[in-house]
A and B are shown apart, each in its own frame.
With several copies, the nearest count.
Chain A
Amino acid sequence: MLENLGAAAGANLLAPAVLFFALGAIAGWLKSDLTIPDQVAKSLALYLMLCIGFKGGVEARASGLTPDLLSAGALGLCLSFAAPFAAYAALRAFGALDRVTAAATAAHYGSVSVVTFAAGSEYLRAIGVEFGGYMAAVLALMETPAILAALLIAGSRGGAAGARIKPTLWREVFLNGAAVVLVGSFIIGAITNEPGRERLDLFVGALFQGALCLFLLDMGLVASRRLAAAPKLNWGLIGFALVWPLLSAAAALAASMALNLSLGDASLMAVLAASASYIAAPAAMRIALPNADAGVYLSLSLGVTFPFNLLVGIPLYHAIARLMYG
């Protein structure tokens, strides 16, 4: 068992995508001038979303409206909405953050990271573990409840700017570009089904792997530069960013078992719960809680938790799932 775990972790660490992340991180750390131009990085992100949504839609259509789909969706919603309350308490207690920054950071940890999900599902595919295509929809469902929870926690901001900014915020929360592409592609995948998939097979399949490598290279650069520019992180915060994913994943696994989700679905649910948002949540927080310190929440989610999940978390959560599923 432990041997398998070691081998699985090794396989993950040797996956090209993970190695490209490491390359980016090292290049950023050495202050290389390497950068993926931002418009291309943004497009890669949209493209990854498109692939994940589309493939998920095709697979979800193939398997139909199973009860698993419903329980996974409901579980995802609950986890995403509940997590910020616990995370907020922990951040206040151990991280010594002010109220607003703690709420904003909690939103990130309740919400999810698309690329962590992508890496997780690639990992499961590589080791031959099946999971439901609807997990892409669960991913989409988990993006926003955490943001709403954080807003509840922080309380309505009031003040003159409040009224003015509301519509922008709701648009950002529900209609941010990434979410629209993810959900839209899921629906398109479900509609076009196999004929559509055949046409786009290569585009959303073989190409995806390479694009993920390129994007992770960029993530490595951004993460390590972010971390270098963040002197404010105390050990309490770093501890939170490493321990929270573990606890969160464990809770997700337990709940998944209770709901009879499959091994693959449970593993992905753990990955989602453990992951922290770095696209949707920061964008919303910048609008809704502008007094929160972006240096804190971005450094934690992007600089600490993302690498941890990518390098260690994904194989670990799956290994724990295996143990639990016997």
Chain B
Amino acid sequence: MDLVTRTKLEIFVEAHAVNDLERMLTRVGFKGCSVFEGVEGAGSHGAWRQTGVDEAGMRLIITIGSEASARAALTWLEDYFKSYPGVVAVSEVKVLRAERF
């Protein structure tokens, strides 16, 4: 069993940005991602809650890839977060089949 270290990004962004982000992630070298829907949350832009009426809610995008890809994505995100709400957390994980990431 070969466990290799890769970088994991957990990106919290508004729903409308998910498509743009997925495109960006592919561009910088990520080969996959998974998106989850939050039910509520809070941050510097205030609190939100999934209601079905007015609020769009945050998505959590989890993506695992090389450190270089992560660095490129972070540069993009740094710029993006200047205008839009969101947060990114970077951490190291170990994966099987490293060639896939």
Which residues of A does B touch, CB under 8 Å? Answer: 33, 35-42, 44-45, 157, 159-161, 164-165, 168, 172, 218-219, 221-222, 225-226, 229, 278-279, 282-283, 286-287, 290-291, 293-295, 298, 302
The number of residue pairs between A and B whose CB atoms lie closer than 8 Å in the complex comes to: 70
CB pair A222 B83 closer than 8 Å: no
Tell me, rounded to whole Å, the shortest Cβ–Cβ distance linking A17 to chain B.
15
CB pair A160 B54 closer than 8 Å: no
CB pair A222 B53 closer than 8 Å: yes
Tell me, rounded to whole Å, the shortest Cβ–Cβ distance linking A123 to chain B.
21
CB pair A222 B51 closer than 8 Å: yes
CB pair B54 A279 closer than 8 Å: yes
What class of interface size applies to chain B in its complex with A?
A: 20 to 34
Tell me the complex Cα distance, A74–B46, Å: 38
Show 28 A/B contacts (Cβ-Cβ < 8 Å), sorted by A.
A33-B16, A35-B51, A38-B50, A38-B51, A41-B52, A45-B52, A157-B83, A159-B82, A161-B84, A168-B16, A168-B17, A172-B16, A219-B53, A221-B51, A225-B49, A226-B54, A279-B53, A282-B56, A290-B83, A290-B84, A290-B85, A291-B83, A293-B46, A294-B45, A295-B46, A298-B54, A298-B55, A302-B54
Q: Which of B19, B53, B80, B83 contacts A278, CB < 8 Å?
A: B53
Query: Most chain-A Cβ atoms within 10 A of its Cβ — which of B14, B19, B83?
Result: B83
Tell me, rounded to whole Å, the shortest Cβ–Cβ distance linking A311 to chain B.
18
Tell me, rounded to whole Å, the shortest Cβ–Cβ distance linking A115 to chain B.
9
CB pair B20 A278 closer than 8 Å: no
Q: Which of B16, B19, B52, B79 contacts A283, CB < 8 Å?
A: B16
Q: Which residues of B contact A39 (CB under 8 A)?
A: 52
Say whether B1 faces chain A, with CB atoms less than 8 Å apart.
Answer: no
CB pair A286 B19 closer than 8 Å: no
Q: Which of A161, A172, A282, A287 contacts B54, CB < 8 Å?
A: A282
Tell me, rounded to whole Å, the shortest Cβ–Cβ distance linking A93 to chain B.
25
Query: Most chain-A Cβ atoms within 10 A of its Cβ — which of B54, B79, B80, B85?
Result: B54
Is the contact region of chain B dominated by helix, strand, or loop, or is it mixed? mixed
Q: Which residues of B contact A290 (CB under 8 A)?
A: 83-85
CB pair B54 A222 closer than 8 Å: yes
Which residues of B does A touch, CB under 8 Å? Answer: 14, 16-17, 19-20, 45-47, 49-56, 79-80, 82-85
Tell me, rounded to whole Å, the shortest Cβ–Cβ distance linking A29 to chain B.
16
Tell me the complex Cα distance, A41–B52, Å: 5
Q: Which residues of A contact B19 (CB under 8 A)?
A: 168
Is the contact region of chain A dominated by helix, strand, or loop, or is it mixed? helix
CB pair B52 A37 closer than 8 Å: yes
Tell me the complex Cα distance, A39–B54, Å: 12
Tell me the complex Cα distance, A103–B70, Å: 36
Q: Which residues of B contact A225 (CB under 8 A)?
A: 49
Tell me the complex Cα distance, A33–B16, Å: 9
Q: Which residue of B lies closest to A223 (CB)?
A: B53
Q: Which of A40, A160, A161, A294 contacts B52, CB < 8 Å?
A: A40
Q: Which residues of B contact A222 (CB under 8 A)?
A: 51, 53-54
Tell me the complex Cα distance, A161–B16, Å: 13
Tell me the complex Cα distance, A172–B51, Å: 19
Tell me the complex Cα distance, A286–B2, Å: 27
Q: Which residues of B contact A41 (CB under 8 A)?
A: 51-53
Q: Which residues of B contact A42 (CB under 8 A)?
A: 52
Tell me, rounded to whole Å, the shortest Cβ–Cβ distance linking A171 to chain B.
9
Tell me the complex Cα distance, A45–B50, Å: 14
CB pair B47 A278 closer than 8 Å: no
Q: Which residues of A contact B80 (CB under 8 A)?
A: 161
Tell me, rounded to whole Å, the shortest Cβ–Cβ distance linking A168 to chain B.
6
Tell me the complex Cα distance, A165–B82, Å: 13
Q: Which residues of B contact A165 (CB under 8 A)?
A: 20, 83
Tell me, rounded to whole Å, the shortest Cβ–Cβ distance linking B34 to chain A.
16
CB pair A229 B53 closer than 8 Å: no
Query: Most chain-B Cβ atoms within 10 A of its Cβ — which of A36, A38, A229?
Result: A38
Tell me, rounded to whole Å, the shortest Cβ–Cβ distance linking B39 to chain A.
8
Q: Which residues of B contact A44 (CB under 8 A)?
A: 52
